[in-house]
Amino acid sequence: TIALIHGAHRMGNRTDADMARWRSLRFGQFIHWGLYAIPGGEWNGKTYNGAAEWIRSWKEMPHEDYDKLYRQFNPVNFNPQQWAAQAKSMGAKYMIITTKHHDGFCLWPSKYSKYTIASSPWKKDLLGPMIEAYNKAGIDVHLYFSIIDWNHPDYRASLKNAADSAAGKRFQVFVKNQLAELLQRYPTIKGFWFDGTWDDSWKNDGAFSDELEQYLQSLHPGLVMGSRLRADEKGARHFDSNGRLMGDYEQGWERKLPATIDDVHGNDWEAVMTVPENQWGYHAKWAGHVKTVNEILEMLVKSVSLNGNFVLNFGPKADGTYRTEEQQLMTGIGQWMKVNGDAIYNGTYAGFEKQDWGYYIRKAGTDSVYMVVFNIPVSGSLRVKLPARTSLTGASVLQSNATLTPELIGRNEYFIHLPNKTTDSPVVILLKTVTGENKEKGSFEKAK
Ligand SMILES: C[C@@H]1N[C@@H](c2nc3ccccc3[nH]2)[C@H](O)[C@@H]1O
C-alpha cells in the first residue's frame, strides 16, 4: 500500500449508532429546489435539453439573466408541512435538500453571501421550516451542499497562478464558514451530501477536504458524510490511492445501481435516482422515459437487497408545489410501502443465491428473509435455494399473512407455489429460516 496522510482513516464501515440509524432508514427523498425552477428548462421560447439545474451553463441563457432570477423567487405556495406529510406517506425516512446548488444561490439567509433567499421577494429562510416539518414527521434531514459555486467571485475550477491560489484560499474559508453556519442554524440535521467536488481546485487539495471533514465531525459528532467530499493527496476521489473508501458510504451511484453484491465491496452505499432520465431541478418538459411506480420500487428493493440506501429525487416548481407526476408517484409508492415497508426498513443483503423472480432482503440481524417478487415464472413456482445448514421453518404472504407450504425439491432447495400468477405490484413473501450445525430439521423437510 501507498503511505497516505489524507486517504481513508477507517477500514470497514462505521459501526456507531448514527450510522446504524442511517443504514436502517434505507429509503430517502432528494429535493432539488432553487432558482433553476423558475426557467424550468426553458428560456426565450427555447427548450434546454440538459439537466434543468444546469441551465446557467446553456449558451442560450446569458449568465446575467440567470443571476437576476433571484429577484423573482417567491414560492407563495410553499407548504413544508404538506411536503413532509407527502414524504411520510411515500415511506421516506430521510430527506436531502439542496441548501445551495452549483449556481451558488442559498435557500437560507447566509451571513457569508448576498446571493441568498434574504435578497429574494420571499426573504425568509426556507430550510428551517422544512427541517422542522420533516423532523416533526419523523423524517431525518441531510443537507446537500455544492462545493462548485458559479456565483462566488473566488470560485476557481483550477488554480493556475498565485492570484488563483489566493482566491482559492478565500473560497475555502467561505465554504468552511457556510458549513459551520448550517450546522449552527440546523442542529438536528444528520449529514451533509456534498456535490460538485470534481474540479481540479478541489481534487488537488486532499488535505483541505480531509481537514474539513474532521472539522465538521468535531462540530457535530456522528455526522454522516459520503465519499464525494474527499480527495486524497494524490487526487483520488471516493476511493483513496489504496482503493479504500473515503467517507462514510459510497456516494457515486448517481442514476445507476450496482449490478450485484460484488459491486459494493462490503461498503455502505447509497444510490440517488431521477424520475425522468436526467432531471434533478424542475423541468417543464420531461423528455424521454419517466419511471413508473413499479420501476422505482424495483430500484428501491434491489438497492436494499444489496445493502444500500435508495433516494428518489423530486424537483418542486418555483411556486413551491410538486408537479402532478411526482405527486402521483409519492402516492403509488406509498400505497405499496404501507403494506410492505417491513421488507425495506432495516433491510440487508440476505446472502441467498439470487433467483430470477426478484430479490431477497434479510431483516438486519434476524432469521427473517423477505422475498420481493417482480417476475412470477409461468410455472408459478418460485425457486428458493438456501445456503448450507439453513432450512425453512415458515413462509407466508406478507400482505395477507396467508401461509405458504414450500415444496422440498432437492437438498436445501424448495419451490414456493404462488396462489395466483398475476399481480400488478411486487409480491412480498416472508420466510422464517433457521441456521446452525445441529439445527432441527426445517418444517418442510420430509422425515427420512
Ligand atoms: C445529484 C446531482 N449531481 C449534479 C451533477 N452535476 C454533474 C455534472 C456532470 C456529471 C454529473 C453531474 N451530476 C446534478 O446537478 C444533481 O445535483
pLDDT in tens, 405-416: 999 999 999 999
State the average pLDDT for the chain: 97
Interval between CA 288 and ligand 1 midpoint (Å): 18
pLDDT class for 445, splitting at 50, 70, 90?
confident
Per-residue pLDDT, 438: 55
Q: Which atom of ligand 1 is nearest to the CA of 54?
A: 15
Interval between CA 23 and ligand 1 midpoint (Å): 24
Q: Is 140 in the pocket of ligand 1 (CB under 6 A)?
A: no
Q: How many CB atoms lie within 10 A of CB 375?
A: 11
Q: Is 42 in the pocket of ligand 1 (CB under 6 A)?
A: no
Q: How large is the average pLDDT for residues 124-140? A: 99
Interval between CA 280 and ligand 1 midpoint (Å): 8
Q: Is 195 in the pocket of ligand 1 (CB under 6 A)?
A: yes
Interval between CA 278 and ligand 1 midpoint (Å): 9
Q: How many CB atoms lie within 10 A of CB 446?
A: 6
Per-residue pLDDT, 446: 62
ipTM value for the complex: 0.98
Write out the H or E segment, with its range, that includes residue 325: helix 324-340
Q: Which of 53, 55, 253 to mutate to test the pocket of ligand 1 (most atoms within 8 A of CB)?
A: 53
The answer for 412, left when phi > 0, alpha when psi is -120 to 50, beta otherwise, is: left
Per-residue pLDDT, 419: 84
Find out whether 225 and 244 touch, Cβ atoms under 8 Å: no
Per-residue pLDDT, 448: 41
Give the C-alpha separation, 331 to 90, whole Å: 6
Give the C-alpha separation, 300 to 296, whole Å: 6
Give the C-alpha separation, 429 to 406, whole Å: 11
| Nearest alpha-carbon partner for 418 in 439, 402, 433, 435 | 402
Q: Which residues pair with 30 in a beta bridge?
A: 96, 313
Q: Which residues pair with 395 in a beta bridge?
A: 431
Interval between CA 258 and ligand 1 midpoint (Å): 18
CA 303 to chain centre: 10
pTM of the model: 0.97
Rounded to whole angstroms, the maximal C-alpha distance in the chain is 82
Q: Which atom of ligand 1 is nearest to the CA of 51?
A: 15
Q: Is 272 in the pocket of ligand 1 (CB under 6 A)?
A: yes
Q: Is 148 in the pocket of ligand 1 (CB under 6 A)?
A: no
